[in-house]
Each structure stands twice: as structure tokens, then as C-alpha cells.
Structure 1
Amino acid sequence: NRAREGHGVPPLRLSERLSDDAERHTRAMIRRDWLFHTEDLSSVLRPYRWRVSGEVVGCALRLHRLVRAWLSSPEHRSILLDPRFRRVGLGPVATREGRSCGPGLRVWATAILYG
């Protein structure tokens, strides 16, 4: 939300229920040891009143580094700073499982946004 505030964009409100969905997706990525997007995001968002949606996924040594990487990527940055999005579900998971993100403890995460 600091980045959104710095760009004059309203902050995102956290959805606990959507965060559960995001965490389930993160755990699926860890099990498969691969980063991938939700196959059918519209079905995940069916219980919500939404018009636009977006998703960012990734893994890094620390969560703040992952957020920094997202904000450094034009595609991810445009999603995170999109003023149409009002709600977010966050699903970070710290784990030693999986090798595609590097050895040792890593944070894998999914952020699902809608507006």
C-alpha cells in the first residue's frame, strides 16, 4: 500500500477469505515446485462482487524482496498500482520445499486483486 499511496492510488483492503484462496494457490505452486497463475481466476472470484481482476505470483529470499521485484517489473507493477483494484488476498508461505526458487528458506506468494 505504500507504493500505491506514493502514486496517489487508494490503498487495497485485505480480504481474509480471498487470502485463504491465495494461500491455497501458493501451496499448490510449492507442491509442483513451479510458479504459475490460477487457471480460472473468475471461478475463485465468483463469491465476490468484481469487475476487474489480477494476480501476481513469485518467490524470493524474503517477502520485501519479492514485493520489490514485483514493483520493478512493468507488468507486475501495473497490476499492483491499478486504481481499479480495491481488495486483495495475500498468500505468502515460507518454506524450504521446492528448488526452482533456490536453496534454503524462501517465501513463495500469490496476490489476487479485484475491483
Structure 2
Amino acid sequence: MTDQFAQPYQRIVQDVLDQIRLGRLKAGDKLPSTRELAAHYDVAPGTVQRALSELRSGKAIYSQQGLGSFVRQPESGAAPAPATIEALAQQLAELTNRVEMLERQKSQDD
């Protein structure tokens, strides 16, 4: 869910946050190195460093000198569980289908 008009570092931040929300990255998980992230996102290491800085200031990750960056334990109530997100996504899809069906019926009646 990245915005194509966002700066490269913002896309990295959003991608990491999405991975945390979806449960792909969990508290204590180590993030790839700056070099690996730069290669993955095809950006300069400085861009990755800026993204990591944003993630640290947003308290999503923490870094330890010489060890790397890790996903921080979320504060209680900070983010819904992945199962909750999936349930909400399914409800949204069902509601979208209903609205589309109602709109089709309305256009046929007109």
C-alpha cells in the first residue's frame, strides 16, 4: 500500500510498518542490514538510513550499535492483531460488493 508520489524513504517506512501490521515482522525480529535494504528497494544507503531514523522516531524499531535494527514490542492497544485486520478486510470486501450490486440495480431501474 505504498503511495507512488511518496519519497523513497517514506515508501520504505510504510512498507516496514505494513509488514509489522500484517504480522510478517514481529517484535524482536531483526531487520535486514542497510546494504540489504538498499539493494532490495534499489535506493542509496542514505535513503535507508533516513527511513530507519523515521521508524526509530516513530518507535516502530530500535537499533543497537553493531547488532542492527529490530522491531519494537508494540505498545498495548497500538495495533490490531493480523486476524482482526483480515476480518476487517473481508467485511470491507463484502460491503464493497453489496454497494456495487445496489448501484447496478439502481442503474437498471433508472
TM-score, normalization: structure 2? 0.32
Whichever structure has more strand as a proportion of its residues is: 1
Report which of the two has the higher share of helix.
Answer: 2
Larger Rg: 2
